[in-house]
């Protein structure tokens, strides 16, 4: 029998700090969605039949289209409309042929689209493909300015740049300047697309939000297309599934309210119960290794929280190197990634968990993006409430520079981290795309949460709009 631990923790003399986070803007809003009536079941069956019919029509498009440019645009539309999971085989077969085909196309739109689609799917393609559009002075030819859609396509492609790809660095500067001009020209047919792209480039965008936006754009251009009908129906079906799951989670939280003991006990109990439920579900799929890695990630999370608490109580301002080593982990990305694998079943192999545990560059870079974007937007009010120094304070103290200079330096680090994400993604061919996407989407969430404000702390602003758009507001059928 295990001996009883008589250790007691008397923190009565230690004032407990509160972050004063805002209460949830949603309350029990999603509880009403937890419904599974006979009427809903019949509706789901009818919807699945419609989806299958539309899917077959789209699959036929891959067969009937002859031109490579047409297939590229079809794949682009499918991906933007959130339908790529239905056509993974067709997309990969097409892109494999594209990768091995010659680059004799002189249309900047098609070349940039091909480059972006191949890199997004992890296919090797050199940025030298754009050399034909550069003049003797090493600048992009002014002639491509006439192709406004091409400028937009090159802009989107340039976000998939890696370290040392100076052509793509130049492409991003060049296209950003011209897109800003288009965005200020209300007479341009691309004015809305230019504004949206400048704020939310495709590669950095949260996929479901991009889908919602592109459905509205596609609706204006081709209101009766098969793709649009398919996308609307698929989006609505998926949204209802999310709503149902949220309803179940919300009810679970409410049931736990009746247990309300002291703070630490409920925290400890909820964590243990959560992992017990995970473990029970995992055992059904005979995946006995998954929970181990998730628990180890949680232990690591607790350790860095302890270090940050120690810094706070000692009034210690760490060096930038010390701070980043700890705070990149405290973003929770090193915890969220393996936890997100738990629901993937056998698709998340033990090799995938070992890969995450090895701290791959892709994960580290995503953590850097999250940490620095968070600190840039939140450091002022966090210092006002007495938090431990952020990256801003650590950098200013270590380098003896102004806040303005510090913010520029940190923003440059975010740019470098995005390049690291792309580079490691391209090198991680032994890791499935589904696993890599879990990590990439964490970086995308940071870009969404912290681009304009601390959307995590102040969740009733842009974050509420983001959640409402994704989970509440329907698309017009």
Residue 2 has a pLDDT of 39
pLDDT digits (tens, 9 = 90+) for 224-250: 689 999 999 999 999 988 988 888 776
| pTM for this model (two decimals) | 0.88
Residue 456 has a pLDDT of 81
| Contact predicate 156/202, CB 8 Å | yes
Residue 266 has a pLDDT of 61
Q: What is the CATH number of the domain that holds 293?
A: 1.10.600.10
Helix axes 166-183, 191-199, angle to 10 degrees: 130
Residue 420, domain member (yes or no): yes
Residue 46, domain member (yes or no): no
Same domain, 140 and 277: no
- By C-alpha distance, which of 162, 66, 177, 155 is closest to 108? 155
Q: How many domains does the chain have?
A: 2
Residues of the chain with pLDDT under 70: 1-20, 34-39, 41-42, 103-104, 221-224, 250-287
Residue 283 has a pLDDT of 58
How is 366-433 classified by DSSP, letter by letter? Answer: HHHHHHHHHHHHHHHHHHHTTPPP-HHHHHHHHHT--HHHHHHHHHHHHHHHHHHHHHHHHH-TTS-H
- By C-alpha distance, which of 388, 466, 455, 468 is closest to 22? 455
Q: What is the CATH number of the domain that holds 163?
A: 1.50.10.130
Residue 286 has a pLDDT of 46
| Contact predicate 194/178, CB 8 Å | no
Residue 254 has a pLDDT of 41
Residue 15 has a pLDDT of 63
Residue 434, domain member (yes or no): yes
Three-class SS state of 140: strand
Residue 199 has a pLDDT of 95
Q: What is each CA distance from 29 to 34, 36, 120, 243, 251, in whole angstroms?
A: 11, 17, 36, 10, 10
Q: Which residue has the tokens 């599974």?
A: 36
Residue 142 has a pLDDT of 87
State which residues form the domain around 414.
Answer: 261-472
Q: What is each CA distance from 131 to 34, 195, 301, in whole angstroms?
A: 55, 27, 46
Residue 189, domain member (yes or no): yes
Bridge partners of residue 134, in order along the sequence: 140
Record the tokens describing residue 113, joined without a space: 């689209």
Give the Cα-Cα-Cα angle 38, 42, 44 (nearest 5 degrees).
115
438 contact partners, CB below 8 Å, separation of at least 6: 337, 340, 341
Residue 247, domain member (yes or no): no
Residue 477 has a pLDDT of 72
Q: What is each CA distance from 24 to 30, 99, 126, in whole angstroms?
A: 12, 48, 46
Radius of gyration of the chain (CA): 25
Residue 34, domain member (yes or no): no
Residue 53, domain member (yes or no): no
């Amino acid at each position: 029998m295990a001996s009883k631990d008589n250790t007691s923790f008397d923190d009565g003399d230690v004032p407990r700090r509160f972050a004063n986070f805002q209460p949830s803007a949603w309350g029990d809003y999603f509880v009403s969605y937890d419904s599974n009536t006979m009427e809903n079941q019949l509706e789901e069956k009818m919807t699945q039949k419609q989806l299958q019919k539309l899917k077959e029509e789209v699959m036929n498009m891959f067969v009937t289209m002859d031109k490579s440019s047409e297939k590229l645009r079809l794949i682009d539309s499918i991906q933007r409309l959130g339908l790529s999971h239905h056509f993974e085989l067709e997309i990969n077969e097409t892109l494999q042929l594209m990768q091995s085909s010659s680059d004799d196309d002189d249309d900047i739109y098609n070349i940039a689209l091909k480059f972006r689609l191949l890199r997004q799917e992890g296919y090797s393609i050199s940025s030298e493909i754009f050399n034909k559009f550069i003049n003797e002075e090493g600048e992009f030819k002014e002639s491509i300015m006439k192709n406004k859609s091409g400028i937009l396509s090159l802009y989107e492609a340039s976000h998939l740049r890696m370290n040392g790809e100076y052509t793509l660095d130049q492409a991003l500067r060049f296209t950003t300047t011209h897109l800003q001009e288009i965005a200020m020209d209300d007479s341009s047919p691309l004015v809305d697309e230019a504004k949206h792209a400048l704020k939310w480039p495709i590669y950095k965008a949260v996929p479901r939000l991009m889908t919602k936006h592109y459905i509205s754009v596609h609706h204006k251009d081709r209101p009766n297309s098969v793709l649009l009908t398919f996308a609307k129906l698929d989006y609505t079906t998926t949204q209802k599934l999310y709503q149902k799951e949220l309803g179940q989670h919300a009810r679970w939280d409410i049931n736990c309210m009746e247990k309300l003991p002291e703070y630490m006990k409920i925290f400890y109990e909820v964590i243990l119960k959560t992992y017990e439920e995970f473990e029970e579900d995992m055992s059904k799929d005979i995946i006995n290794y998954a929970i181990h890695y998730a628990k180890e990630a949680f232990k690591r999370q607790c350790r860095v929280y302890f270090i940050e608490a120690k810094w706070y109580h000692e009034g210690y301002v760490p060096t930038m190197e010390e701070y980043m080593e700890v705070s990149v982990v405290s973003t929770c990305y090193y915890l969220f990634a393996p936890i997100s694998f738990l629901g993937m079943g056998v698709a998340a192999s033990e090799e995938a968990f070992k890969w995450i545990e090895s701290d791959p560059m892709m994960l580290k870079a995503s953590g850097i993006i999250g940490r620095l974007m968070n600190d840039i937007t939140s450091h002022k009010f966090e210092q006002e409430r007495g938090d431990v120094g952020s990256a801003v304070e650590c950098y200013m103290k270590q380098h003896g520079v102004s806040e303005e200079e510090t913010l520029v330096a940190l923003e440059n680090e975010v740019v470098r981290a995005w390049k690291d994400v792309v580079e490691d993604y391209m090198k991680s061919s032994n890791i499935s795309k589904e696993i890599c996407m879990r990590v990439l989407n964490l970086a995308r969430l940071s870009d969404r949460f912290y681009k304009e404000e601390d959307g995590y702390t102040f969740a009733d602003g842009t974050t509420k709009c983001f959640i409402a758009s994704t989970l509440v507001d329907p698309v017009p059928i």
